[in-house]
Amino acid sequence: MKVAIIGAGWAGMAAAVKATQAGHQVSVFEAAHALGGRARVVTSSTTQTLPDGTPLRLDNGQHILIGAYTDTLALLRLVGIAPEDALLDLPMTLQFPDGLGLKFAAWPTPLDALGGILQARGWSAGDKWALLRAALGWKRQEFSCADTLSVADLCRSLAPRIKAELIEPLCVSALNTPPAQASAQVFLRVMRDALFGVPGGSRLLLPQVDLSALFPDAAASWVLERGGQLRLGQRVQSLQTHGQRWLVQQELFDTVLLATSAAHAAQVISASAQDAPRSIPDTMQHWLDTTHALQHEAIATVYAWAPQASLPQAMLALRSNAQQPAQFVFDRGQLGGPKGLLAFVVSAARGERTHLQALVLAQAQAQLGLALQPVQTLVEKRATFACTPGLQRPPIAIAPGLLACGDYVAGPYPATLEGAVRSGCAAVALL
């Protein structure tokens, strides 16, 4: 089939690779002049430096992977990226600067989680037993619960310290939604895969190369080498039907995969529905209604630097509140970047960019004892959808020959790199 993929983010490039592998003729249209969407490098060494003159390549957000991201890891290998070289492989850790918190043991799955809980510093024996009892209960229920439950509801019986030092960091990092508003069912699915789903599923995999190099650039080269086409700087505003085919930028295709953001996909569908055959607009409208109902959350990444700044490990959890909003900090010097560069992540971010930056710099001083200079603060205002209980997500299939993929479409995962990749693979499986 002749397939048009609109959008060259992680979902679009995953779809391009899988469609090419299946023998289809692929053309990827991308409005920007760079690949990767919301997970890519945004500055090159020619455009920005640290105060000491060190050249910089910054991503538009700090992302992590875990061992349970099986589809992503498989695609990395397929396009020639060795995960063991590109990713720093660590035990799952949610430790704070004072050394308290959870760090999984170097044991086989699921004993690594058990060992981590038993050895966690700062938790009482009663706290640990209550957590183990709850986890065993989730397993007995096959990690399933009522769609209406929030993560806060699910974990109501746990001690406040466990909720503050384990559940909340896990929830905001995986779902980018506070526990009181986050879907317990989606949270449990991620926990199942990470703790019991695959060997090594809980392993923390931190990128040691920029996000463009980690997958989208390699995926594009792989597709181009096999006859695919990549058309950068081409924004697709609408589609037209032509019999059983679709017209994209004056070219006919058998199938179109919309792999843009939810907002842009909705704009394209809305513009296209006016000219669609009479049998199609109703299904398009249902898709639009579901997509417009999604609420979105922002993620802020504050890059800051000091000549001698370093962390005891590549990633630390931070105690967060309204005045100290960052939940995690990453030592970019341990991840292939320049020494002294730290990346602070504020999930479900609220407030204006400069104000967030000032709060995070004060938080670094208070919790890490570091006086840092700001380098750059990036805010993705619609970084993810709010993963709330009972949320209805738009389906992959929109109309005959028209599909959508992206981390927001219907699927078991929240808005993560793995969610995006899986949606691209799932869309191609429907061709």
Q: How far apart are CA 25 and CA 4, in angstroms?
A: 9
Query: Any idea what DSSP says for residue 284?
Result: H
Q: Where are the domains of the chain?
A: 2-40+211-294+389-429, 81-88+205-209+296-385, 92-200
Which long-range CB contacts under 8 A does 164-171 form with residues at least 24 apart? 164/319, 165/94, 165/96, 165/100, 165/101, 165/102, 165/122, 165/123, 165/317, 166/94, 166/101, 166/102, 166/131, 168/327, 169/94, 169/317, 169/327, 169/328, 170/94
| Amino acid at residue number 75 | L
DSSP label at 333?
A: G
| Count of residues in the chain | 431
pLDDT of 46 reads: 54
**Residues 311, 329 contacting (CB under 8 angstroms):** yes
- CA pair distance 308, 301, nearest whole angstrom: 21
Can you give the pLDDT at residue 388? Answer: 96
422 is written with which tokens?
A: 């899986």
Q: Which residues contact 175 (CB under 8 A, 6 or more apart)?
A: 151, 182, 183, 186, 187, 190, 387, 414, 415
Q: By C-alpha distance, which of 282, 314, 250, 291 is closest to 89? A: 314
Distance CA 369, CA 181 (A): 32
Q: How far apart are CA 83 and CA 49, in angstroms?
A: 28
pLDDT of 54? 87
| Res 106: pLDDT | 86
pLDDT the model gives residue 333:
96
Please state which architecture CATH assigns to domain 2-40+211-294+389-429: 3-Layer(bba) Sandwich (3.50)
Question: Is 149 in a helix, a strand, or coil?
Answer: coil
Instruction: For 78-228, list the strands marked E by DSSP.
Output: 87-90, 93-95, 101-103, 204-207
For position 43, what pLDDT does the model report? 67
pLDDT at 283: 83
pLDDT along the chain (431 residues), means of 10: 98 98 98 94 73 89 94 98 97 92 89 91 92 92 95 95 91 92 95 86 95 97 98 94 91 97 94 70 88 95 95 96 96 96 95 96 98 95 93 94 96 93 98 93
Cis check: omega of the bond before 400, within 30 degrees of 0: no
pLDDT in tens, 115-171: 999 999 889 999 999 999 999 999 999 999 999 999 999 999 999 999 999 999 889
For domain 81-88+205-209+296-385, is the CATH number 3.30.465.10? no
Residue 9 pairs in a beta bridge with: 36
